[in-house]
Structure 1
Amino acid sequence: RYLVIKFDAWMYQDFDDARAALMSVISGALVKAAPPALKDRAKSLIGRVNKLRFLGVALEAGAWAMGVPTFGAISKGVTAAGALFSGSQEDTNLEAVKDAASDVQSRGASLLREAEEKGPPDEIDAFRAEFKAVLQDLGKTMVVFIDNLDRCLPRNAIETMEAVRLFLFMPNSAFVVAADEDMIRHAVSQHFNSPSQRHITDYLDKLIQVPVRVPRAGIQEVRAYLILLLASRSDLNDGAVEKLRLYLIDRLRTSWKDDGDFTINEMLTQSGVQASKELATAWEMADRMAPILA
């Protein structure tokens, strides 16, 4: 029923366009999941992503021609040009500027073989329509997990969020973003030149429809984690570890009660697990460590 796609935003940090990176990964996953009858239609999505990348390169090249330095594909050319204008001209700097210009030309040729009279809005609408049709014919719900967004530079983080916005309100699709909220707020602030707190909140509220804030782990949660970690690395069999896991889950559900605490001996007695002396000693150490870690 589900097509699960994992996207590590940090891994694509240096991709020429963070938006195109996410779109390419999603399109590639659809191609792999598509049956033979849908392969060609799914592959056309990759072509549309390349067209959007081409349009981005073209806009960047246009800005460069008008004397507006930009970053991305021609960042090396900008740096080298700065050295030329400052008087520290070297052959390597001149070559870098030439390479930047030829890089834009070669990338444009490889991404779009035939020029088309379509702008970004037209291509985005076409991509959304084709994506919607392929996903519906596939008969699955797409779930994309985006991780490490808070490790990205502000520009990359915002571009990835903008790519997610492209897919919003599409049927049979959902995005789960794991990130430190303060870091994302900082990225919004840096990218949009210090907006007000209200504008930052409004921006995130429009993108993140269901925020789930994970609370800090308490002493009992840390304690249960350490107990299971030590158990899984001991000579206990899988059945015994599973008994401990079920027991600890049950106790954590009532940890808010006055009698929610338990001792290691209680755990062993009530779960019916037999532990070695070494493991019992390790658990006693975990009991002492839990308050410090929490």
Structure 2
Amino acid sequence: DDARAALLEVIATTLNEEADRRKNGVDKAKELLQRVNWLRAAKLGVGSGLALALGLPPTGLIGEAVAFGKKALSGDLTEGDVEGAEELAANAFTTAGGLIQAKPELSPPREIHAIRECFEQTLKEMGVTLVVLIDDLDRCLPPTTISTLEAIRLFLFLNNTAFVIAADDAMIKHAVRQHFGNVDDDLVINYFDKLIQIPIRVPPLSTQEVRAYMMLLFVETADIEDAIKESIREAVCAQLAKSWRGERVDRAFMQTVYKDAPAEIIARFDTADRLAPLMVSASQIAGNPRLVKRFLNALSIRMAISRAHDVGVDEAVLAKMLLFERCGNPKVYDALTAAVNNDPDGKPVFLAEWEQKAAANEELELDQLWDDPFIREWLAITPQLADIDLRGVLYVSREHAPLITPEDRLSSEGAELL
């Protein structure tokens, strides 16, 4: 549906239902709904009605009717055109019949003005404030985004009305730029500033908040009573409110909050403790909670594969490798998996010296391909991988890293000889 018409209808219908419930402002609410219905019938949506009023090329049923009229005036009608006109008339009657409820001699500009006045009077009679929450606007296609913003502008400066838009402002500005034909950034900002009166930017998550979020996700998926989960969540939120004073949400704190935590949960808290700093500093995640959750979902799926195939992968080892896979240089990750594939025991033994120096905060001299700030931090994360068989990790990670052992390159006889 046309986004503007849909938004108008939702608002009018909601107010009509609320007026019936409150037993006041009923007449005005019904009048508002009737006017919105008329406006929708003008195109089935606002577009064609406004287009005709403004002298622009119309679309939809009205556009087809105008095109037929032009043919009639020019004398270019065929028998097929006449049959098409009859079908058009039938469609128009069927489609718009249930919508046209307003008085005659109305025009879209007049109705928009009347809708604004009727809307204010409805709210005044009902004694309410209307707050419209619009989420995920940045996920819409540019035409839908702009159409919705234009609908909001109809009500934006009316009394007792507020709109709360949750969206990525960069995506909204991209939609504005697309709509107006790649205009200058200054014009995009001006459009945005006139529309959004009170911008509130959600800051990126800090290491403390990412760590707390990961730990709460682990708690959420654990087999724990809901009351205990809620008490843990409240304690974590209270602690985060004091993080500016140096208070920490870490494994030690979680153990004081959840004293009977099983060893498996404590191990997961430990994993969150170690991974959180890199989750914030790595540009591919940058503390984005959606990406953090996506990372943990991938970790959970691979652990499920490990259990189903009886691979016995350690979750901390898998988490460290998954972090490298998601945030490291793909060429470096390929080099690491190649080393695992080529080693008889599946161990990246060449990491031993680097990991030891990184853990001891000693100066590292890495090969050119490996010389990257992310890798330096990643090497310092426990557990150290140099002496761990990673073939099981590669097995459950085959979507990105095929497990190719030396035996896979040989015939059955060759593998026996080897």
- Could you say which TM-score interval applies, normalised by the shorter chain? 0.7 to 0.9
* Counterpart pick for 1:200 among 169, 188, 207: 188
Given the superposition, is the C-alpha separation of residues 201 and 114 from structure 1 closer, same or farther in structure 2, using an over 3 Å criterion? closer
Is the CA contact (8 Å cut-off) linking 1:232 and 1:241 kept in structure 2? yes
Q: Distance in 1 between matches of 2:261 and 2:132?
A: 41
Aligned partner of residue 111 in structure 1, secondary structure? coil
Percent identity between the two aligned chains: 40
* Counterpart pick for 1:183 among 163, 168, 171: 171
Is the CA contact (8 Å cut-off) linking 1:226 and 1:286 kept in structure 2? yes
Given the superposition, is the C-alpha separation of residues 43 and 262 from structure 1 closer, same or farther in structure 2, using an over 3 Å criterion? closer
* Counterpart pick for 1:282 among 249, 268, 282: 268
Q: Distance in 2 between matches of 1:95 and 1:276?
A: 77
- Residue deviations 1:92-130 (CA, integer Å, cap 9, x gap): xx9989866754454444432576222222211211122
- Residue in structure 2 matched with residue 32 of structure 1 by the alignment: 17
Does residue 232 (structure 1) correspond to residue 220 (structure 2)? The answer is yes
Q: Distance in 1 between matches of 2:270 and 2:50?
A: 67
Is the CA contact (8 Å cut-off) linking 1:141 and 1:173 kept in structure 2? yes
Aligned partner of residue 204 in structure 2, secondary structure? coil
Alignment of 1:116-265 (within 5 A): 116-257=104-245, 259-265=246-252
- Residue deviations 1:209-237 (CA, integer Å, cap 9, x gap): 11111122222212111212222332433
Q: Which protein has greater RCO, CA pairs closer than 8 Å, 6+ apart?
A: 1
Q: Distance in 1 between matches of 2:243 and 2:167?
A: 28
Q: Distance in 2 between matches of 1:156 and 1:235?
A: 42
Q: What is the one-letter code of the residue matched to 2:33?
A: I
Given the superposition, is the C-alpha separation of residues 61 and 106 from structure 1 closer, same or farther in structure 2, using an over 3 Å criterion? farther
- Residue in structure 1 matched with residue 35 of structure 2 by the alignment: 48
The 10-residue stretch of structure 1 (173-182 or 242-251) with the greater mean CA deviation from structure 2:
242-251
Note the residue ranges of structure 1 that are not aligned, 5 or more in a row. 1-14, 78-93
The 10-residue stretch of structure 1 (126-135 or 281-290) with the greater mean CA deviation from structure 2:
281-290
Q: What is the one-letter code of the residue matched to 1:21?
A: A
Q: Distance in 2 between matches of 1:29 and 1:62?
A: 25
Q: What is the one-letter code of the residue matched to 2:220?
A: S
Q: What is the one-letter code of the residue matched to 1:32?
A: E
Bigger Rg over Cα = 2
- Residue deviations 1:246-266 (CA, integer Å, cap 9, x gap): 332233234345x44353123
| Number of residues of Structure 1 aligned to a counterpart in Structure 2 | 261
Instruction: Give how far 1:165 is off.
Output: 0.8
Aligned partner of residue 42 in structure 2, secondary structure? helix
Note the residue ranges of structure 2 that are not aligned, 5 or more in a row. 66-81, 280-284, 288-418
TM-score when scaled to structure 1? 0.74
Aligned partner of residue 124 in structure 1, secondary structure? helix
